[in-house]
Amino acid sequence: MLDPSNDFNAPCYDDTFRRNFYFKEFKRLDEYFIELDYWIMREAFSSRMGAYLNLNQRHYDDSGSGEEIFRDLSESERKLFESRNYFVGDEIIDVSTSKFGDIYHVTEVYVYAPKITFTSTSTEVVNFPTLVDFNFNYSKTYSFNQIQYLCGLDEIGFISNDLTLGDEFYIERFKQVIGYRTYYECRSSMLTVSRREGSYIWAKASGFTNPYTGETWTAKQVVFDHRDVSGGVLYVKSPTKTYPTRALQVSVRKETTFYSFYKRELYEKFFPKDPSTGIEVGQIDSGTNPTYVTYKVMVQNGNEIRPSPSTETEVFKNLWRIDDFYTVAR
C-alpha cells in the first residue's frame, strides 16, 4: 500500500552519506564510492539504477526543512565528486519488517570508473612457447676417435656442450685419403639427442649414405671400425635448434582498469600465429608471427608479452573491471 500521508511515497533520504572504500585492495583510499540510504513504501519503489548523484539532494524531515546531505563538503571535494560522475550501480534493499510498516530501506551505491590504472604484481607459473631456430647452422669437427659407437645399444655419442636433449643433428664425412686408403663421402640420417651422461650426449644411431652414389654403410662401419684411424675427420652438423616449451615461475604484472557504460576491447593471450591464416601454432620459427629473430630481439630488449587473456567482470551495473596481464618475454 501507499502512505496515506504521502510521506514515504518518494525516496526519503537519511541525513548522511558514507564513503565505500571499494579500491582498498589497491591501497587507494583516495578513490571511493558513495552510499546513501532512503526509505520508501514498497508499492512506491521504482529502481533508480543508473541515476546520477544529486549533490543538492536534501534529507527527509517531516517538517519539510531537510538540509542538503552534502552541505559539509569542501569546495575542492565537491568539484571532485562532480568530476567523477557518480551513478547508482547497486541498490541494496532491506525488506525486513519495519516499525514504519510496509516500507523498504534502500541503500544506493553510487559508483564511477576511476581514470587511473591500478597495478599489482604476483608470482605465477607461465608457459613460454617452443622456439625453433632454422638458421642455427651448427658445425663442429671431431676426429674419428672422438665419436663413439656403442655396439649392441646401437648408439652414437660424443662430448658436446652445444647440443641438448631433443636437438637434432647429423654426422658427415667428406672424402679423405689417409695412407693407402680412401674414405668416401657419407652422411647419416638426422639423429636426435636422447640422453646425456656427464659431458657426453647420446643418440640412436642410423646408417650412412654416400650422397652421390647411394652406397651405404652401417654406423658401426663408419664410426666403430675406424675409431683407431689417425687423421680422420667427422663433422657434426645441426641445421636447426629447438628450445622446448618452458614452464617458468615468473613475476606477472596485473593492470586493472574500470569502464562505465561501455566496454574496452579485450586482449588475447600471446601466442605465435601462422601469418597466412592467423591461427595459433605450436612454436615460434622463421615462418610465424612473430618470427624467431623478432622474438629473440623482444627477449633481449626485455619486451613484455601477455601470458593470459584479459578478464572482464561487471562488478556493478554498467561498471566493468578489466584485468590485463604482462610478463617479460623469455
- Same structural domain, 163 and 309: no
Residue 97 within any structural domain of the chain:
yes
CB neighbourhood size of 112 (10 A):
22
Q: How many domains does the chain have?
A: 3
- Same structural domain, 209 and 264: no
- Same structural domain, 301 and 167: no
Residue in 52, 17, 22, 47 with CA at minimum distance from that of residue 35 = 17
Q: What is the pLDDT of residue 1?
A: 47
Write the CATH number for 206.
Answer: 2.40.30
- Tens digit of pLDDT per residue, the chain (330 long)? 455 466 688 999 999 999 999 999 999 999 999 999 999 988 899 999 999 999 999 999 887 789 999 999 999 999 999 999 999 999 999 877 666 668 899 999 999 999 999 999 999 999 999 999 999 999 999 999 999 999 999 999 999 999 999 999 999 999 999 988 999 999 999 999 999 999 999 999 999 999 999 999 999 999 999 988 888 999 999 999 999 899 999 999 999 999 998 888 899 999 999 999 999 998 999 999 999 999 999 999 999 999 999 999 999 999 999 999 999 999
Residue 37 within any structural domain of the chain:
yes
Residue 7 within any structural domain of the chain:
no
Q: How far is CA 133 from CA 80, 136, 202, in A?
A: 56, 6, 22
Q: What is the pLDDT of residue 264?
A: 85
Q: Give how far the C-alpha of residue 314 lies from the chain's centroid of Cα atoms, to the nearest Å.
A: 21
- Same structural domain, 150 and 274: no
Please give the Cα distance from 89 to 78 (Å, whole number).
20
- Same structural domain, 126 and 68: no
Residue in 171, 167, 163, 168 with CA at minimum distance from that of residue 147 = 171
Please give the Cα distance from 304 to 292 (Å, whole number).
16
Parent domain of 217:
137-239
- Same structural domain, 27 and 85: yes
- The three cell numbers locating residue 261: 557504460
The DSSP call for residue 57 is P
- Same structural domain, 268 and 286: yes
- Same structural domain, 41 and 92: yes
- Same structural domain, 217 and 183: yes
Q: Are strands 130-133 and 283-284 parallel, antiparallel or unpaired?
A: parallel
